[in-house]
Amino acid sequence: MRRLAPAIYFVLLLTSVAAGQTQLQKPVAAPPARQKPSPGFIDRVLKFLGISDSPGTLKSPGDEKSGELWVADLGSHTTHAVTRGEGYRSPVFLPGSNDILALSGNDVVRISSSGNMKKLYSIAGITKVVAGSTDNPDAVLILLTENAGGHSRAGLLSVSTGKITPLAFDPNSSADLQMVENLEGWTRSYGDRQIYVRRQTKQALSGTVEWSDVFLEAAGQDPVNVSRCNGANCGQPSLSADGRLLIFVKSETE
């Protein structure tokens, strides 16, 4: 038995070493793949025409007023009315065409370049059409009445179906709230060009007359009054996707 002991010990040692090597060679499980975070509120909003990550001013003069829709041709420096009656607000050009999407009360209407108007649907609580999408011609960014926190609600409107997809933002994020405030105004940036509304005044026999005009400012150039409303309130401007046309609302002063 004593002669067998070294042999038994040697066999047990080989078995132990082999087991250890098996454990060492066992593949280590790969860590679970991290899911790519979904795009945030600001990232999704920046996909719309005229929206930049540099917040503009808050609400401009005459933002809530309705009136006639006018178009300025930036090439020929001319303006003309598109609608014959007032009652329209918040117009934007639809990407891929010169058709206009606007609000008349709670009605969403589509207006051709020749002025033919078609009601698409009514949306309770809609306050503003903000901009068309840069990558989806069927989607427009809209604002709805304020939530319990006092902030406007943002959503994506499908032009073809009228379906609204809410865009949630973080009410505790100062950047998200600043962007919502930016959407409530009408200052917009398109590359090196910016459009905004400015208050104008002039002296008349009856006293000081005030109104608002739409200005376009290109990098390194002086601002240009493109609406030239001269006594009427003009605002709520938006550029076409090709940058040639500018739509705005013209309403009479009170």
Q: Is 195 left (phi over 0), alpha (psi -120 to 50) or beta?
A: beta
Mean pLDDT confidence for 187-215: 91
Q: Which stretch of 12-21, 42-51, 74-83, 234-243 has the lowest confidence by average pLDDT?
A: 12-21
The chain-wide mean pLDDT, for the chain, equals 84
Q: For the chain, give me the number of helices (H) and strands (E)?
A: 3, 16
Q: How confident is the model at residue 43 (pLDDT cuts 50, 70, 90)?
A: very high
Judged against a pLDDT cut of 60, whether residue 8 lies above it is answered with no
Residues 6+ apart with CB under 8 A from 93: 99, 100, 101, 132, 238, 239, 240, 241, 245, 247
Contact in structure between 232 and 221 (CB atoms under 8 Å): no
Residues 6+ apart with CB under 8 A from 106: 122, 123, 124, 125, 126
Structure confidence at residue 243 (pLDDT): 93
Mean pLDDT confidence for 6-10: 49
Structure confidence at residue 153 (pLDDT): 93
Mean pLDDT confidence for 236-252: 94
| SS3 per residue for 106-153 | CEEEEECCCCCEEEEEECCCEEEEEEEECCCCCEEEEEEEECCCCCEE
Judged against a pLDDT cut of 80, whether residue 57 lies above it is answered with no
Q: What is the pLDDT of residues 218-229, one digit of tens each?
A: 988 999 999 999
